[in-house]
Amino acid sequence: MNEVLETDTFSQTADSCEKSEREWIDKMRSQLSENLLVGKLLHYEWFREKKFRDKRLFYLINQTTNKAVLIAFGCKKEQEKIIQHFIVNKIEYLKLVE
């Protein structure tokens, strides 16, 4: 069983989502707790996304520590901004899955 964590920023975003989006995010938490290797790779083996309608869930994985960290949930228009923010701050984010 894998540990699925989330950043404070992600928690705030998830709390403001529609009910169907929150239910899907909960389903993804469950799926990640069973299998870290779901979703599409983004630039790195440990940086991934999963699509839900017009939005994307961004998360990090670490197979060695069996952890996943949910970092962002946003629409397609925000995708590049989220990815660039992660790349600039990847060292801080990677500490979350150690």
- The total number of structural domains that make up the chain: 1
* pLDDT given at position 92: 87
**Dist. CA 52–CA 66, nearest whole Å:** 24
pLDDT digits (tens, 9 = 90+) for 62-87: 999 999 999 999 998 898 999 899 88
Q: Mean pLDDT score of the chain, rounded to an integer? A: 92
Residue 67 belongs to domain with CATH number: 3.30.2310.20
Residues 40-56, buried b or exposed e (16+ Cβ, 10 A)? eebeeebbbbbeeeebb
* pLDDT given at position 97: 83
Banded model confidence at residue 32, pLDDT cuts 50, 70, 90: very high
**Dist. CA 32–CA 58, nearest whole Å:** 12
Which are the contacts of 91, defined by CB distance < 8 A and separation ≥ 6? Answer: none
> Which pTM was predicted?
0.92
Which domain covers residue 31, as residue numbers?
A: 3-95
Per the model's pLDDT, the better-predicted residue between 23 and 90 turns out to be 23
* pLDDT given at position 14: 93
pLDDT at residue 18 greater than cutoff 90: yes
Helices (H), the chain: 8-15, 19-34, 79-88, 90-95
**Dist. CA 96–CA 60, nearest whole Å:** 9
